[in-house]
Amino acid sequence: MMFTISHLSVFSLLLSIFAVVSALPLALRDVFVPPVTYPHAGTVWKVGQHHNVTWDTTNAPVNITNKLGKVVLAKGGRLDYEHPLIKDFDILKGRIEVQVPDVTPGDDYTIVLFGDSGNNSHNFTISK
């Protein structure tokens, strides 16, 4: 009984948060989806190396809703959302250093950069 009730209240709390966020005027939410410029097609990263992911900030709106960025690695289009390479950095910096995690080598890796929304890099290679 208790379990059901607490589940219900969490659910309605989430619903109210969603309602409030969706009700925000669109003008206050300038969406910025910067294109990733590095890594790109032909890039090869080795496990353990440090690299700067870079992106184009030239079209950044004056008032960005979410200035904090997150970099997520994806393989074959599958995002490892639970383990971002780095997060909570200033998206206007245009670059952020990451360390290549110990993942299975492959040539179908992409970097997804999240601010307000996500944009992905080209496919690139990670090797041992």
Ligand X SMILES: *[C@@H]1O[C@H](CO)[C@@H](O)[C@H](O)[C@H]1NC(C)=O
- Interaction site with ligand X (CB under 6 A): 33, 35, 50-52, 62-63, 76, 95, 97, 108, 110, 119-120, 122-123
Half-sphere exposure of 102 (CA within 13 A, CB side): 0
Give the separation between CA 80 and CA 102, rounded to whole angstroms.
13
Residue with CB nearest ligand X? 35
CB of 65 to ligand X, least distance (A): 11
19 versus 26: smaller Cβ distance to ligand X: 26
Residue pair 45/122 in contact by the 8 Å Cβ criterion: no
20 versus 26: smaller Cβ distance to ligand X: 26
CB of 38 to ligand X, least distance (A): 10
Residue pair 85/98 in contact by the 8 Å Cβ criterion: yes
